[in-house]
Structures are given as structure tokens and as C-alpha cells.
Amino acid sequence: MNNLPAHVAIIMDGNGRWAERRGLPRLAGHLAGVNRIRSVVATLLDNQVRYVTLYGFSSENWSRPEEEVQGLFQILEDRIGQEAAEMHQQNIRIKHAGRLHELPLGVGNAIGRACSLTQHNNGMVLIFAFNYGGRQELADAARKIVEQNIPPTKIDEQIFAANLYTAGIPDVDLVIRTGGELRISNFLLWQAAYAEFYFTKILWPDFTPKQVQRALSAFTKRKRRFGGL
């Protein structure tokens, strides 16, 4: 396909509902969702998508039942080492977006090790947004700018972008949201300013490579104007 997006961001929604419809505990849905990541990333890699951002856990998700939150953390801690090793073999670089220091030590260390292992890879960049919030990111960027004593007259879009979690990463071209909801949910508010959106009712664990191809095909049919005619 021509005119494919360079940066795809995915709101991986619907794990809990996927489990509930099957009479399973919600954590079974989160495990199925983690298992889905590999095939989706592989499909995007095959299509030469250069940057992928996955929304794994928002700063608002802390309000969910403690058992579910802690279970999700345990799944991630148990799996990220294996997944990172395989992605390392594929020359994928893993980065984190969000407040890592607020996470349990085991999870934070696991994410940190994955980032360190793959830091010199020069293939696809996979940004894992975990304990992430768009407004939180903007506030953190503003704080960093103040700490650098940058004069107000010198602050522009380039300075602000350079202080985001995604500094050095191009803006998002395509945002995919599974699960049927039609909202951005505090995700990449700055980076998705001119992104195209693709919404599907398919729940994340059922979002197959075929569905990825449909989303990419839909993107190629869009005419992007970036505010112009």
C-alpha cells in the first residue's frame, strides 16, 4: 500500500469486555490483550511502519479495582522480559512514555530493562505508554521547561515538543481505537493534533493482522490537509 503512516498509535480497548463475554475473569482479557500485541506489531513491522505507540495503562486506570490493577502489573512484569528479548532480535527499540517512578518497583524495573536492552536498535521504535496521561504529559513538559530557565519569549512549539515524553518522535499519523468507543481518552493530546482516526467495534484481543491491514488501507484513502484546503 502507498502512503502508509509513519507513526501509528493504538488505544488497546476492550480486554475486560472480551473476558466478560466469555464468562472469564477480567485478568484473562488482559492476558489475551498482551498476547495480541505481538501479531499486531509484527504486521505493522511488515508494513514498514516506523513508529508505534501502544496505550497500555492510563493515569486514570488506577481507579479500577485494586485486584485488577495489581494483576495487570503482574502480567506485565512476568511477560515483558520475554517479549523484549524477541523484539530485540527484530531490531525493535522499546521506549516508555509516562511516569515510570509511580509504578511498583518490579514493573518499573522490567520496563527499564526492556528499554535498556533495545536502546541501540535502529529498526521500529515501539513506545509503550504505561501510567500515561496526555494532560499529565503536558504538565510535566511545562515543568521541565521552567526548570531549564528558558525565557518565556523563547518558548515555541519546538521547545515544548522537545520536552514531551516522546521527544524526538514524529507526530502521530494514525490513531486506532478498538472496542467501539469514540473518544481519545487523554491519549497523545499534542502528538495527535492532526492524526487520522480509525475506530472499530472489535475488541482488542480480537484485533487480528487482517484488521490491522484494514485500518492501514483506510488511512491510505484519507486526504490529509493539515488545516489547508
- Cell reading at 123: 529498526
C-alpha 37/C-alpha 55 separation (Å) is 11
pLDDT of residue 226 exceeding 80: no
Residue 61 falls in the annotated catalytic set:
yes
Domain assignment present for 104: yes
Domain assignment present for 165: no
CA-based radius of gyration for the chain: 18
Domain assignment present for 228: no
Instruction: Please say whether the dihedral angle defined by the alpha carbons of residues 99, 172, 35 and 27, taken in this order, is positive or negative.
Output: positive
- How long a stretch of residues is the chain? 229
pLDDT of residue 227 exceeding 80: no
**Residues of the chain with pLDDT > 90: what percent?**
92
Q: State the chain's mean pLDDT as an integer.
A: 95
Residue 46 falls in the annotated catalytic set:
no
Domain assignment present for 139: no
C-alpha 190/C-alpha 202 separation (Å) is 26
Residues 32-88: pLDDT tens digits? 999 999 999 999 999 999 999 999 989 889 989 999 999 999 999 999 999 999 999
Domain assignment present for 144: no
Give the chain's domain count: 1
Range of the domain at 42: 7-133+170-220
The reported pLDDT for the residue numbered 51 is: 98
Q: How confident is the model at residue 224 (pLDDT cuts 50, 70, 90)?
A: confident
Domain assignment present for 145: no
pLDDT of residue 91 exceeding 60: yes
Beta bridge partners of 176: 10, 198
Domain assignment present for 148: no
Catalytic pick among 35, 46, 61, 131: 61
Catalytic pick among 2, 3, 13, 173: 13
At residue 146, φ and ψ (nearest 5 deg) are: -60, -40
**Residues of the chain with pLDDT > 70: what percent?**
98
Q: What is the mean pLDDT of residues 144-164?
A: 96
pLDDT of residue 229 exceeding 60: no
CATH of the domain at 81: 3.40.1180.10
